Chains A and B, each alone.
Chain A
Amino acid sequence: MSAVLPASGARALRQRAHWSDRIAHATLAAIVAALVVFLALPLGLILVKAVQDKDGAFVGLANFASYLATPSLLQSFVNSVWVALLVTIVTVPLAFGFAYALARSCIPWKATFRTIALIPLLAPSLLSAISLIYWFGNQGAARGLVVALGFENIYGAPGIVVAECFAVFPHALMILLSALALADARLYEAADALGTSTARKFRTITLPGAKYGLISAALVSFTLVITDFGIPKVIGGNFNMLATDVFKLVIGQQDFQRGAVVGLFLLAPAVLTFGIDWLVQRRQTAMLTARAVPLKPRPARGFDALMLGYVGVVSALMLAMIGMAVFASFATYWPYNLTPSWKHYTMGFVDAEVGDAFLNSLKLAAGTAFFGTIVVFVGAYMLEKTRGADALRPLARLLAMLPMAVPGLVLGLGYIFFFNAADNPLHGLYGTLAILVVCTIVHFYTTGHLTAVTALKSLDAEFEAVSASLKVPFFKTFWRVTLPICTPTLVDIARYFFINAMTTISAVVFLYSPETKVAAIAILNLDEAGEAGAAAACAVLITAGSTVVTLLFLALGAWIERRTQAWRRPAAR
């Protein structure tokens, strides 16, 4: 080895990579390659299709022009935007009130209320649409209310708005709960010492503290609504939205070009809101210092009673929504014979559609949870804890964050374009369960990734440096230290993947084949076929399945915690 003394201005020195580093680089490269193939290329193809004609010739913005020249399609765009805005304006304050009651009041049964409000996360979003039809549809239990309010019927915009409010509520609630949990009691004590009024404290401390949470919740609500497919499909009637248009154009009319244009319209607000959210979140981090004192709410009889009343009403509405679906799924012949029976369940299983679909759902969810957790965690580890391959890292980060900004419908669209092409060597994947698993992993990659990154960042940054100095390759430390410490996080990620795979519709609706149809899709088909009872039964089945699995995961988590995390308890001295 010769002396290395480059003159100043010469290229910076580069350390030689250890063989174990090369393994890390290869793994990282493999994950990046997979994300390119299963995320970047399909998305890129949407862009390409949007500027091509049917024969693949470049036509510039002609597809956009033809889209804008079609009044019915343009109307969908307008519809999507105002519905999404309305749902956001209604849901975010409602969820804020709910979160405020849970975080800042002394009402009893907080855990129960929280669980009830989060139930919709365990159900496919269109469950609320099905319930709504049973409540207020043409043969609904409380149809008179709709008429009394001056609507002709629930189908169309009113139904979509109400159903979306229910579906989006828990998402907004979770964000706002964590925003309100971040409170420094010292600020309120200082304000009290200065004799500040309650209203002023709320305006000057609480709201600014929750500002970023509110922005985030609003952006998430808007994006969820504008990209949701299930609810408009079930209860939308003739009211068209972007998400239903995409499906009609691509699956119904095989008009890939204009489908791609609509896909881009769906992608744009999602990317935009994602960008804003990302900027906002970066400023959020500095808000609370490590020395902050957690705020403990104090009892206040009048306020607590008010809050309890509000939370009770919202929870009752939630239960009414879930309960109606359950009730209807057991009703023998709605609305004439309400005697409970297993008819809709057995019928579904007898004609085997629901049974097979449910089995497929479980397979999809298990595959997504298993492989997704491995890929996400290994990817996050390589990104956060290994050295070198610096050129690859920004790309890996971007690809890991990108899925958050891509609606499932758009991802599914990209998959059709990419994998359905006969000349793609991966064409064989099309129509298999494997592609559903891959697509679902990619669809929900970012949340899993961020969870893993947060867990990894909480570990001492020098574990890997110490290991290297002791000549222990990183993968041994990964296996002996990192993985055991992070098992609770792994369980969380697996549960997240599983539940979302059970309930998702948007991406898989483009990709299923008769053999790989999942239960959430079966609901749509049953509903379309007029089998409302069976559709409700299927939705209930998914919700029940998700609930059981969630409980199993929680039990598994508790068991693992007991088995492997003994070292966390210094009391064992």
Chain B
Amino acid sequence: MDEAVRLEVRAEEVAAGRGASRAAVADYLRLEGVRKAFGSFEALRAIDLAIAHGEFVCFLGPSGCGKTTLLRIVAGLETQTAGRIVQAGRDISLLPPAERDYGIVFQSYALFPNLSVADNVAYGLVNRKVPKTKAAARVDELLKLVGLPGSGAKFPAQLSGGQQQRIALARALATSPGLLLLDEPLSALDALERVRLRQEIRSLQRKLGVTTIMVTHDQEEALSVADRIVVMNHGAIEQVGTPMEIYRDPATPFVADFVGKINVLSGRLRPGRELTIGASRFECVHDTDAERDVKIYLRPEDVLARPIAPGDANVFDGAIDKIEFLGSYCLVRVHADAMGAQPITVYLSLNFLAEQGLEVGSRLPLKLLPERMRFF
């Protein structure tokens, strides 16, 4: 089946979605109140989620947050305790995996070790009575697509981990599924290969336009490839948003903490857009009617060391406590009386440190960006 045919089929399926609302057609995949309980343990609590056609969505969260369970429920490998799943206007809640429409890639690759690469990729085609020559052409096309042309005669054991995962991807895409499910596909690979393959997966997904869900516990991975990220914790969705929204505008302390580095400071919010930390007063953009204690969430890059002009608001002075060398940047912990004895961490470039001759014990001025502060 080529791309055009596949899209046609998809359109037919969408049109055939009996009684499906307009919204259902717009959302390629919809989860409604999906719950999963293992005995008394609540693995997933009332998950509602809509994924648009062609979207690349990441389920992100710590281990045990339920992200893999949710993916397996979408795949039909587990059955939800309650709730409904609609794919392309078709209620698939209770369909067995074989009657759903998806391709899946696992962390373990799950390639059939005794079959050649070509036989692995063609595994789903053979069963659909695709003629041999057509299947072979499709295999060649897919191997080219994943950057491994001519490797069809090899056995999986003769390939590296990254190559094996590319073959697994080709196998999952061979039958042109409407949905691609990736279960921590990069976790078993080494760091360099991981970065390379995630970009390949991303561009492949763009090219094919296949709706994709990837499960990962690696925030950097999610931020770099996803159209939208679903951050999960304790079986519930904490936030759904674009990578930028998730990073810049975390909805909950958990999201702020889990994605990226962040300073957490205790302070007091007062009417008149005023914030006190310890004995010091700062400007903020958040107004409040009644004075209250808050936790201030501030990313290291939102505490500036330059440019600071004389007379700038929110400037304070501190002493360098510890410098963690990370390459071109350093993570610098600063002790400032203005922070009420709470250490604050900032990113400083190696050049800046050298220019200013800063080392542990040096003092420097810092500025808080009022519009970047988040309060919980």
Residues of A contacting B82 in the complex (Cβ-Cβ under 8 angstroms): 4-6, 8, 10, 12-13
Task: Assess the A4–B93 pair: CB atoms within 8 A.
Answer: yes
Whole-angstrom CA separation of A3 from B102 in the bound complex = 22
Whole-angstrom CA separation of A468 from B124 in the bound complex = 9
Segment at the interface with A among B153-161, B212-220, B300-308:
B153-161
Report which of B99, B103, B174 forms a contact with A18, defined as CB distance below 8 A. B99
Residues of B contacting A20 in the complex (Cβ-Cβ under 8 angstroms): 98
Whole-angstrom CA separation of A467 from B103 in the bound complex = 10
Task: Assess the A573–B158 pair: CB atoms within 8 A.
Answer: yes
Task: Assess the B124–A472 pair: CB atoms within 8 A.
Answer: yes
B123 sits at the interface (CB 8 A): yes
Nearest residue, chain A, Cβ from B36: A12
1/0 contact trace for B149-185 toward A, CB 8 Å? 0000011111000000000000110110100010000
Interface hits, B33-71 → A, CB 8 Å: 33, 35, 37
Segment at the interface with B among A40-48, A135-143, A375-383, A564-572:
A564-572
Contact (A485, B113) CB under 8 Å given A6-B82, A10-B82, A13-B94: yes
Residues of A contacting B95 in the complex (Cβ-Cβ under 8 angstroms): 15-16
A351 sits at the interface (CB 8 A): no
Report which of B75, B155, B157 forms a contact with A465, defined as CB distance below 8 A. B75
Whole-angstrom CA separation of A10 from B37 in the bound complex = 12
Whole-angstrom CA separation of A12 from B37 in the bound complex = 9
Contact (A470, B124) CB under 8 Å given A5-B84, A18-B96: yes
Quote the shortest CB–CB distance from B181 to chain A (angstroms): 8
Residues of A contacting B282 in the complex (Cβ-Cβ under 8 angstroms): none
Task: Assess the B94–A15 pair: CB atoms within 8 A.
Answer: yes
Report which of B33, B98, B114, B171 forms a contact with A468, defined as CB distance below 8 A. B98
1/0 contact trace for B85-115 toward A, CB 8 Å? 0000001011111111011101011101111
Contact (A570, B157) CB under 8 Å given A472-B124, A485-B114: yes
Task: Assess the A469–B172 pair: CB atoms within 8 A.
Answer: yes
B253 sits at the interface (CB 8 A): no
Whole-angstrom CA separation of A20 from B99 in the bound complex = 11
Whole-angstrom CA separation of A362 from B31 in the bound complex = 61
B81, B172, B174 — most chain A CB neighbours (10 Å): B81
Interface hits, A447-485 → B, CB 8 Å: 460-463, 465-473, 476-477, 480-481, 484-485
Quote the shortest CB–CB distance from A414 to chain B (angstroms): 37
Whole-angstrom CA separation of A218 from B287 in the bound complex = 77
Whole-angstrom CA separation of A569 from B112 in the bound complex = 14
Residues of B contacting A461 in the complex (Cβ-Cβ under 8 angstroms): 108
Interface hits, B197-215 → A, CB 8 Å: none
A288 sits at the interface (CB 8 A): no
Whole-angstrom CA separation of A246 from B263 in the bound complex = 79
Residues of B contacting A466 in the complex (Cβ-Cβ under 8 angstroms): 104, 106, 110, 123, 171-172
1/0 contact trace for A202-230 toward B, CB 8 Å? 00000000000000000000000000000
How many residue pairs, one in A and one in B, have C-beta atoms under 8 Å apart?
133
Whole-angstrom CA separation of A485 from B93 in the bound complex = 34
Task: Assess the B112–A471 pair: CB atoms within 8 A.
Answer: no
Task: Assess the B110–A462 pair: CB atoms within 8 A.
Answer: yes
A21 sits at the interface (CB 8 A): yes
Whole-angstrom CA separation of A468 from B96 in the bound complex = 9
Number of interface residues of B (CB under 8 A): 48
Report which of B35, B37, B77, B114 forms a contact with A484, defined as CB distance below 8 A. B114
Residues of B contacting A3 in the complex (Cβ-Cβ under 8 angstroms): 32, 84, 91
Task: Assess the A476–B127 pair: CB atoms within 8 A.
Answer: yes
Contact (A469, B75) CB under 8 Å given A12-B37, A567-B113, A572-B158: yes
A1 sits at the interface (CB 8 A): yes
Contact (A465, B84) CB under 8 Å given A470-B171, A472-B123, A476-B127: no
Task: Assess the B127–A471 pair: CB atoms within 8 A.
Answer: yes
Report which of A6, A460, A570 forms a contact with B108, defined as CB distance below 8 A. A460
Report which of A1, A470, A569 forms a contact with B175, defined as CB distance below 8 A. A470
Task: Assess the B76–A15 pair: CB atoms within 8 A.
Answer: yes
Task: Assess the A4–B157 pair: CB atoms within 8 A.
Answer: no
Task: Assess the B114–A470 pair: CB atoms within 8 A.
Answer: no
B156, B157, B172 — most chain A CB neighbours (10 Å): B157
Nearest residue, chain A, Cβ from B157: A570
A14 sits at the interface (CB 8 A): yes
Task: Assess the A470–B115 pair: CB atoms within 8 A.
Answer: no
Residues of A contacting B97 in the complex (Cβ-Cβ under 8 angstroms): 18, 465, 468-469
Task: Assess the A472–B79 pair: CB atoms within 8 A.
Answer: no
A317 sits at the interface (CB 8 A): no
Nearest residue, chain B, Cβ from A21: B96
Residues of B contacting A10 in the complex (Cβ-Cβ under 8 angstroms): 82
B233 sits at the interface (CB 8 A): no
B22 sits at the interface (CB 8 A): no
A434 sits at the interface (CB 8 A): no
B128 sits at the interface (CB 8 A): yes
Task: Assess the A471–B98 pair: CB atoms within 8 A.
Answer: yes
Whole-angstrom CA separation of A466 from B185 in the bound complex = 14
Residues of B contacting A8 in the complex (Cβ-Cβ under 8 angstroms): 35, 82
Whole-angstrom CA separation of A462 from B171 in the bound complex = 14
Residues of A contacting B79 in the complex (Cβ-Cβ under 8 angstroms): 12-15
Whole-angstrom CA separation of A473 from B33 in the bound complex = 31
Whole-angstrom CA separation of A1 from B18 in the bound complex = 10
1/0 contact trace for B126-162 toward A, CB 8 Å? 0110000000000000000000000000111110000
Nearest residue, chain B, Cβ from A570: B157
Task: Assess the A470–B108 pair: CB atoms within 8 A.
Answer: no
1/0 contact trace for A533-573 toward B, CB 8 Å? 00000000000000000000000000000001111111011
A17 sits at the interface (CB 8 A): yes
Contact (A460, B35) CB under 8 Å given A12-B81, A16-B94, A470-B124: no
Contact (A13, B80) CB under 8 Å given A470-B124, A567-B157: yes
B241 sits at the interface (CB 8 A): no
Quote the shortest CB–CB distance from A21 to chain B (angstroms): 6
Nearest residue, chain B, Cβ from A3: B84
Whole-angstrom CA separation of A465 from B98 in the bound complex = 9
Residues of B contacting A565 in the complex (Cβ-Cβ under 8 angstroms): 114
B83 sits at the interface (CB 8 A): yes
Whole-angstrom CA separation of A469 from B103 in the bound complex = 6
Residues of B contacting A460 in the complex (Cβ-Cβ under 8 angstroms): 106, 108-110
Residues of B contacting A481 in the complex (Cβ-Cβ under 8 angstroms): 112, 114-115
Report which of A14, A463, A572, A573 forms a contact with B110, defined as CB distance below 8 A. A463
Nearest residue, chain A, Cβ from B124: A470
Nearest residue, chain B, Cβ from A470: B124
Task: Assess the A465–B110 pair: CB atoms within 8 A.
Answer: yes
Whole-angstrom CA separation of A21 from B99 in the bound complex = 12
Contact (A564, B98) CB under 8 Å given A6-B82, A10-B82, A472-B127: no
Residues of B contacting A480 in the complex (Cβ-Cβ under 8 angstroms): 112, 115
Nearest residue, chain B, Cβ from A484: B114
Residues of A contacting B181 in the complex (Cβ-Cβ under 8 angstroms): 469
Contact (A471, B110) CB under 8 Å given A18-B98, A465-B104: no
Task: Assess the A567–B156 pair: CB atoms within 8 A.
Answer: yes
Quote the shortest CB–CB distance from A227 to chain B (angstroms): 40
Quote the shortest CB–CB distance from A472 to chain B (angstroms): 5
Task: Assess the A470–B156 pair: CB atoms within 8 A.
Answer: no
Task: Assess the B155–A567 pair: CB atoms within 8 A.
Answer: yes
Quote the shortest CB–CB distance from A278 to chain B (angstroms): 24
Contact (A570, B158) CB under 8 Å given A4-B93, A6-B82, A466-B171: yes
A-B contact pairs, 23 of them (CB 8 A): A1-B94, A4-B83, A5-B82, A8-B82, A13-B80, A13-B93, A18-B97, A460-B110, A462-B106, A466-B171, A468-B77, A468-B98, A469-B97, A469-B124, A469-B181, A470-B123, A470-B124, A471-B124, A472-B123, A480-B115, A485-B114, A567-B157, A570-B157
Given contacts A15-B79, A466-B104, 18 further A-B contacts (CB under 8 A): A1-B91, A10-B82, A12-B79, A13-B83, A465-B75, A466-B123, A466-B172, A468-B76, A470-B174, A473-B98, A473-B127, A480-B112, A480-B115, A567-B113, A567-B157, A568-B113, A568-B157, A572-B158
Counting from the closest, the 7 A-B pairs by CB-CB distance are A470-B124, A468-B97, A18-B96, A462-B110, A567-B155, A15-B79, A570-B157
